[in-house]
Structure 1
Amino acid sequence: MTQPSSQTATLDYFKWAFLTTAAGLVLGAWVGWQSTGTLSGMMTVFFVCAVLAVLEISLSFDNAIVNANKLKDMTPVWQQRFLTWGILIAVFGMRIVFPLLIVVIAAHIGPIDAVILAAARPEEYARIMHDAHLPIAAFGGTFLMMVGLNYFFDHEKDVHWIAWIEQKMARFATVRGIEIAFVLALILGFSTLLEGEEAVAFVHAAVYGLLTFLVVEIVGGLLDATEQTMSAAARGGFGAFLYLEVLDASFSFDGVIGAFALTQNLFIIAIGLGIGAMYVRSMTVMLVEKGTLSEYRYLEHGAFYAILILSVVMYFQTLVHIPEVITGLGGAGLIGLSLWSSIRHNRREAQEESLGREPDARLRA
């Protein structure tokens, strides 16, 4: 990734997202006109695309921050690959192929039949997606929970936002496998709230989510270790790329399933969520190139707390419906609080320095 001047305007990072928004909304209006033949139908589809884009953006603040956290340690070559190949996989893979793949598996039909079903019988398509929500939520919630816990259960972590929680978690990080034991206990606990086949499906999907996280960590570590032995500059290669792709997929589960509450048209969903995905890419690039994560020290903490809350929400969604708007606003609120805390910290530290004193030890902790 090329390193631009520090004076690069914030809006410059979003120019491709703005262009995608314009093109996507025009395409959405065209789809609305073609499918309904009325002005009101066209405006309805236009509005749905806009709402889906906002929904995806609100759900993806934490995704962008976590991406930036991992991306800043990747080599320039793999940074660029993630920002090009990765966005294609995110838009076309998760927003189009993933919903089709679910229907292919759940309905035992071929990919072409799934596309025909999405176009000709959207109500049936939406029903199949809805029925698949429980295992998807269990899988994605478990993977995201491991991502969040892995950040806080780190004995080398010495910057704490909510110190009374994070210090204890960092201290217990020396106990091998503690986060895995916690997640397994939570899986068993939630499974007791379900009955029959639902409980079995929940446990199976959740265990697969846990195994996927562990496999990605192992494979990523082995690949990056191999690259490092070949060249000291090769750290953060394919392993990190693989981790980010699976992470992005887990974040996408909630948005893709939630989108069917607004429309049953797969192509409208792809347009709306695709627009949102471009903003995630733009936010990721901006965070990396502007060094925002190092400037606002608690921003990462807010993102990982949001991830933990999202994972728990996905678990609860197997029991009751929780609107995606609440999930998005909750995550954005936590990130906003962490940003505000970071700004307060920077101001206190600046005041200490202006008085000619060393910054208070609590500020450095």
Structure 2
Amino acid sequence: MILRTFGWSFGVTAVGLLLAMLYGGPTGLALVAVLAVLEISLSFDNAVVNAKVLDRMSPFWQKIFLTIGIAIAVFGMRLVFPLLIVGLTAQLGPIEAFDLALNDSDRYHDLMNDAYPTIAAFGGMFLMMLFLNFVFEERADKWLPWLERPLARIGRLDQLAVVVAGGSLSFVAWLAADDPGTVMIAGVLGMVTYILVNGLGELFSEASEPGEDDEAEEAGADGAEVTAREALQDAGRGRGGPSNLALATGKAGFFLFLYLEVLDASFSFDGVIGAFAISTDPIVIALGLGIGAMYIRSLTVFLVRKGTLHEYVYLEHGAHWAIGALAVCMLISIGHHVPEWITGGLGAGLIIAAFASSILRNRGEDGEPSEEASGEGDKELHSSKV
């Protein structure tokens, strides 16, 4: 199981470290290894959320995410994206931006820092919307009931997530940004992107619900098959992703795939910028972050195949709280630098705490499944069947 799931990651690690050794010697090897660890620590919560969404995708779209999605994540976001940002900022072509990265790393670093407020506003608001839609949704399982119950109660107000996110963006732009107009535009685009992809995913998932079998069979001719998931798996899931309905196929699968790519991009912003604190060489950064991204993808697959999120139910909660912490850190970093160890430490700490809480929930104080674990599960099943 381990070798089958992480085999490609092990292979990419070996090749990446070899290339780092040939390119930069022992120093390059050490920097790539550190960057890989940094990427994994910053994006572990991304793997948990990805697994929750991937579990709702058809096998066809899962394969697309694990093939084309990896290429986009490793080469697109970790190598091409920084070059595009620098090119747009300095009005340079991709080749010129790459030449600048190789021959004038200090100038390249400065241009990336200049673009960071825009990047952080977009990614921070996308993640903020994801977090708020999760905590404002009523669900059967509650990790922090003293906090999640009142949040779910006030979340009954329609579009409260948009109100809170928009107010936060306005405050950050007014307080911390040198160019508040640019930050506002980028943040609003992040919110719009989340709402659009989320809405499209729900729209086409509804179109694939049982009852439209004829259309589903026609869609299957294009390589997608419509399958309904047990209602229990969706009970309490809320709006943590674009859809909480049946397994996504066809257009619904495409928008779930698109959602995951935007989500990965939002997570990678922080890692790409933080990598410049370790190295300004784009080749070293791409190798290190690329290796880390491979492990995040493998970890996502592992969580899905092992059913870890169904067994340790609070992991999803911890991941979303970690996402909320990352979103806040990104917004704060528009005006003030936030050390990477704080961002990574918050995320890792919240997920570890959620994992420990899940173990205690499953075992109970006397080693037996707790009443909450069994009772609420029965309630979920009953309510979902109704």
Scaled by the length of structure 2, the TM-score of the pair is 0.84
Residue-by-residue CA offset, 1:205-242 (whole Å, 9 max, x unaligned): 11111111112112323344445553143625111111
Query: Which whole-Å CA distance do the structure 2 matches of 1:108 and 1:79 have between them?
Result: 37
For 1:21, the aligned partner's letter is T
Q: Which residue of 1 aligns with 2:371?
A: 359
Residue identity matched to 1:64: A
Structure-2 separation of matches of 1:251 and 1:141? 9
Contact 2:362 2:373 in 1 (8 A): no
Please give the alpha-carbon distance, in whole angstroms, between the structure 1 residues aligned to 2:16 and 2:151. Answer: 44
The answer for unaligned runs of 5 or more in structure 2 is 217-225, 228-246, 378-386
Q: Give the aligned partner of residue 198 of structure 1.
A: 179
Matched, 1:127 2:139: no
Alignment correspondent of 1:216: 197
Task: State the distance in 2 between where 1:330 and 1:22 align.
Answer: 30
Cα 1:69–1:350 change in 2 (3 A) is: farther
What letter is aligned with 2:188? V
Alignment equivalent of 1:282, drawn from 270, 292, 298: 298
CA RMSD of aligned residues (A): 1.9
Deviations 1:20-59 (A, max 9, x none): 1111111011111xxxxxxxxx211111101100000001
* Alpha-carbon contact 1:224-1:239 (below 8 Å) kept: no
Aligned to 2:87: 104
**Aligned AA (1:110):** G
Q: Take 1:224 and 1:15, find their aligned partners in 2: how far apart are those partners? A: 33
How far 1:339 moved relative to its partner? 0.4
- Which SS does the other structure have where 2:277 is aligned? coil
Deviates more, 1:159-168 or 1:115-124: 115-124
Using the TM superposition, give the Cα deviation of residue 187 of structure 1 relative to its aligned residue in structure 2, in angstroms: 1.1
Taking structure 1 as the reference length, the TM-score comes to 0.89
CA gap 1:47/1:360 in 2 versus in 1, 3 angstroms: closer
1:170 equivalent among 133, 136, 152: 152
One-letter code aligned to 1:181: V
CA distance in 2 between counterparts of 1:171 and 1:324 reads 34
The structure 1 residue matched to 2:13, chosen from 9, 21, 27, is 21
Question: Which has the larger displacement, 122-131 or 176-185?
Answer: 122-131
The corresponding residue for 2:271 is 255
Task: Determine the C-alpha separation between the residues in 1 that align with 2:373 and 2:280.
Answer: 55
Which of residues 245, 261, 265 in structure 1 aligns to 2:261? Answer: 245
CA distance in 1, matches of 2:94, 2:331: 29
Given the alignment, which residue of 339, 345, 348 partners 2:364?
348
From the superposition, tell whether residues 188 and 340 of structure 1 become closer, same or farther in structure 2 (CA, over 3 Å).
Answer: same
Unaligned 5+ residue runs, structure 1?
A: 1-7, 33-41
